[in-house]
Homo-oligomer: A and B are copies of this chain.
């Protein structure tokens, strides 16, 4: 599948925090920055997420805000 979302960032799963129906996924990018994602547990199971697994963080452009220092 080819996704149209403008932001697709590669990284590895660093940590998984299990909620009852949701899952917090911490992704480490090659430069050491982290991206945090909150998805359903079912989605995490469907993807077979585990620490160390290579994943992409996918973000629609309309969900990116901008801030200044």
Q: Which residues of A contact B (CB under 8 A)?
A: 1-9, 17-25, 27, 29-31, 33, 35-40, 42-44, 46-47, 49, 53-69
Contacts and interface: CB of A to CB of B under 8 A. Distances in A.
Nearest to A48: B68
Given A43-B61, A60-B62, 8 more contacts: A5-B43, A6-B42, A8-B67, A24-B40, A38-B62, A39-B64, A54-B68, A56-B66
Given A17-B21, A18-B20, A67-B55, A4 B38 contact: no
B25 A66 contact: yes
Contact of A24 (B21, B25, B46): B21
Contacts of A61: 24, 36-38, 40, 43
